[in-house]
Amino acid sequence: MIVVKFRTKPEFTDTFMERVRPFTEATRAEEGNLWFEWSRSVEDPAEFVLVEAFRDDAAEAHVGSEHFAAGLEAMRPALAETPLIVSRSVEGEGWDRMGELRIEG
């Protein structure tokens, strides 16, 4: 499971998601990709958060792919700083229900 925060330059903020669309679509089509989901910070509109997960060691193939390199190059001019990342191995292959907050009905 990988979480990455990207901070964009002001002139690229509104078009960032279009810029990363080919990278996103290619990654979602990879064998071993469990999810690849973008969100935008509610506190900072220039911050985009990517949550991604891969089965087993499929992330290694992802990082070595042509579309990964192309995606980084497409992002590079739009970014204000080096992205922040958290990368951890976790059990499971999907989302579970939150035990502390159950909604019945």
pLDDT at position 93 is 83
pLDDT tens sequence across 47-68: 999 999 988 877 777 878 888 8
pLDDT at position 8 is 98
Whole-model pTM?
0.89
Burial of 63 (0-12, 13-18, 19+ CB in 10 A): exposed
Name which residue leads in pLDDT, 98 or 63: 98
Tell me the mean pLDDT in the region 9-34. 95
Domains of the chain: 2-87 (3.30.70.100)
Instruction: For residues 82 and 72, give the distance between their C-alpha atoms in angstroms, rounded to a whole number.
Output: 11
Instruction: For residues 25 and 1, give the distance between their C-alpha atoms in angstroms, rounded to a whole number.
Output: 18
Contacts of 16 (CB under 8 A, 6+ apart): 6, 8, 48, 78
Phi, psi of 84 (to 5 degrees): -100, 140
Per-residue pLDDT for 92 more than 90?
no
